[in-house]
Amino acid sequence: MSDPADFTIAEAARALRSGETTAAALLKAVRRRVTMTEADLHAYLTIDAEGAEASAAAADEAFARGEDRGSLQGIPIALKDNMVTRGVETTASSQILAGWIPPYDASVVTKLRDAGAVIIGKTNLDEFAMGSSTENSAYGTSRNPWDPERVPGGSSGGSAAAVAVGSALAALGSDTGGSIRQPASLCGVVGMKPTYGLVSRYGLIAFASSLDQIGPITRSVDDALAVLETIAGHDPEDATSFRGELPDFGSQVDRGVDGLRIGVVSELLGEGTEPAVADAFGAMLERLEGAGAEIRELSLPSTAYALSAYYLIAPAECSANLARFDGVRYGLRVDGGETVEDMMGATRAAGFGPEVTRRILLGTYALSAGYYDAFYGQAQKVRTLVIEDFKQAYQQADVLVTPTSPTTAFTVGERTDDPLAMYLSDICTIPSNLSGDPGISVPIGVDDAGLPIGFQVLAPALAEPVMFRVAKAVEGLAGFDARPTLANSEGAA
Amino acid sequence: MPIDIDIAKVARLARLGLSDDELAAYGSQLEDILEHAARVQALPTEGVEPTAHPLPMVNAHRSDEVEPTLDREEVLAQAPDHVDGFFRVPAFLEDE
């Protein structure tokens, strides 16, 4: 029998209902995997052993009573540590929040608890979700389960690594410029960013509010669908939460790609794409064509400027959002002199790491008098052009596809001295954050070094049904069943 | 386009109490990043409206009803300093 830590949500849900396993046994298997891998992986910042055991016991009691709240009941799930959990330390991987115990739950946490999910703990990230490798965490770098010398990607690197290795059956991440999809790609799992507004941001520690969106990291497309169905929906606590009727996310998932028009964005396949990534991507396009899809090469000229626009808009919003960390109401306080302003300056200088400091400075500059029009204002206009390019492209294609990341996992330390090289990791994912559209990364193979390669499917806002449909077809055509080195245990296949 | 930044002023606006060495290092990194970001200025945008937000939304109203709020003690327990139910901070006004 395979180790329950390697189950997909769908497999675990069946096993829980057939009596083959219990929520307590599932949690135990996952905790065993955590114990086995954490020294090498460092996916977690906090394990909530007590809370998880209580939730697992409650799920088993519910099953015994015949109460069934859906596919996540009894499923061990991890949360990126920028989602607040009442009574459980939440740091966003920053020193400025060291030891902070939130007095409330994020709305996604409430929804997971209401669905009977078992929250195992909080995963590592780049500080305040700013980064592409988890190297910006104040609490150490997470490692890639396929090669611990390499990064898991980021910023949701801890969540992706945990899911890849069986230290959680699924996890939530947040995606501001690719922070769900890029680490999912580098860790060989599925990662999905929903349409902006579908999932409440209440209790997500804000980085860039017009770009941030919470989404699932899972081991299958069906599992991503199951998690999204649980966490999506209007929330009065989030003024930007979508109020209309939700699409039926899974309504087309098993229909295949026959007759669909799939657009390839030529600007996102440029220099910097590793040959192995380009080859795997091209091979998948041929398979999709073989399965009846029509492949069209499309040009979205403004996406070439999306990265530049993003690195003005995201820091601008971050400089405003992170003003709240001032040593007054919660978190770190460092005495810096006589006045409150001295205290704030000393607290923020001591509490924020280099990347966060850099982005606050960048955003403050881009918003400051005299430079606003040339930088932030111009970036907002480029954002409009990116949205218009997408709209035109979606008249000619049902979905757009790209590699998720131009490269496979890079070595720890390789890009830390060059912020610009790090930023280029997100070149294929950033445009859909600017437009607010959904995207998903599906693993399709490995390179010569055995490192996973991700395939990205983008769709128009609220077109998750067709996005999942193509993603499921890609998953089937890829038949990706490789396992990371670190997951090979006595119980794993 | 070469970019010249008064980094000390930017740090002051951002309430970041950085040392002179730190200011110099961040200043030169910012100039590099901004040179790349300044590419946005190469795209013609005459007549293009700026987008601040992906959703075409204006106001989100709700009815004005009394609802439970966070527990005061639980909130204050997380504060670096508090007194009589208030957050306490160092002086923010000059002495008379």
SS3 A187: helix
Q: A326–B15: do the CB atoms touch at under 8 Å?
A: yes
| Cβ contact, residue pair A342, B41, below 8 Å | no
Check residue A121 and give its pLDDT. Answer: 98
Considering only CB atoms, A374 lies closest to which of B14, B41, B53, namely B41
Lowest mean pLDDT among A277-291, A301-315, A412-426: A412-426
- Best residue in A97, A199, A358, A378 for a mutation probing chain B (most B CBs within 10 Å): A378
| CA proximity to A86, closest of A53, A108, A69, A70 | A108
Residues of A in contact with B13 (CB under 8 A): 364, 368
Residues of chain B found within 8 Å of residue A308, distances taken between Cβ atoms: 36-40
Report pLDDT digits (tens) over B2-49: 577 899 999 999 999 999 999 999 999 999 889 888 889 988 999 999
Euclidean distance between CA atoms A41 and A150, whole angstroms: 10
A396-405 pLDDT tens trace: 999 999 999 9
CB contact under 8 A, B79 and A330: yes
Contact A310, B40 (CB under 8 A): no
> Is A155 in the active site?
yes
Pick the range with the lowest mean pLDDT from A60-74, A219-233, A246-260, A476-490. Answer: A476-490
Asked if A339 lies within 8 A of B52 by C-beta distance, the reply is: no
Produce one character per residue of A451-462: b if its CB has 16 or more CB atoms within 10 Å, e if not. bbbbbbbbbbbb
Backbone φ and ψ of A382, nearest 5°: -60, -35
Task: Identify the active-site residue in A71, A80, A94, A133.
Answer: A80
**Min distance B55 CA to chain A CA atoms (Å):** 8
Which candidate, A199, A207, A230, places its Cα nearest to that of A71?
A: A230
What's the distance, CA A470 to chain centroid? 19
Nearest CA in chain B to A388: B48
Best CA proximity match to A445, nearest among A471, A482, A413, A398: A482
* Chain mean pLDDT for chain B: 89
Chain B interface disruption, residue of A88, A110, A365, most B CBs within 10 A: A365
Out of A71, A94, A142, A155, which one is annotated catalytic?
Answer: A155
Is ipTM strictly over 0.90?
Answer: yes
Q: Following CA atoms A18, A19, A24, A25 in sequence, which dihedral angle do they give, to the nearest 10 degrees?
A: -90
pLDDT (tens digit per residue) in A3-41: 999 999 999 999 999 999 999 999 999 999 999 999 999
Evaluate if residue B96 carries a pLDDT over 60.
Answer: no
Catalytic residue among A71, A107, A156, A179: A179
Dihedral sign of CA atoms A192, A197, A199, A201 in order: positive
| Structure confidence at residue A210 (pLDDT) | 96
CB burial readout A273-293, b (16+ within 10 A) else e: bbebbeebbeebbebbeeeeb
A196-227 pLDDT, tens digit per residue, is: 999 999 999 999 999 999 999 999 999 999 99
Shortest distance between the Cα of A429 and any Cα of chain B, in A, equals: 16
Across the interface, of A323, A335, A419, the residue whose CB is closest to B33 is: A419
pLDDT at A65 over 60: yes
pLDDT bucket at B94, cuts 50 / 70 / 90: low
Residues of B in contact with A342 (CB under 8 A): 17, 90
Domains of chain B by residue range:
7-42
pLDDT per position as a tens digit, A91-137: 999 999 999 999 999 999 999 999 999 999 999 999 999 999 999 99
Verify whether residue A209 is a known catalytic residue.
no
From the list B49, B3, B2, the residue with the least C-alpha distance to A377 is B49
A87 within 8 A of A78, measured Cβ to Cβ: no
Task: Kindly report the average pLDDT of chain A as a whole number.
Answer: 95
Confidence of residue B91 (pLDDT cuts 50, 70, 90): confident
Strand partners, B86: B83
Is A308 annotated as catalytic? Answer: no
Which residues of A are less than 8 Å from B74 in CB distance? 103
Residue A203: which region, alpha, beta or left (left: phi > 0; alpha: psi -120 to 50)? left
CA A82 to chain CA centroid, Å, is 11
Residue A283's φ and ψ, nearest 5 degrees, are -65, -40
Which helix H or strand E contains A283, and what residues bound it?
A: helix A275-290
Nearest one of A132, A127, A163, A128 to A146, comparing CA atoms: A163
Q: Which of A178-192, A425-439, A449-463, B36-50 has the lowest mean pLDDT?
A: B36-50
Cα atoms found within 13 Å of the Cα of residue A453, Cβ hemisphere only = 26
Angle between helices A221-231 and A107-114 (to 10 degrees): 110
Taking residues A288-305, report their average pLDDT: 96
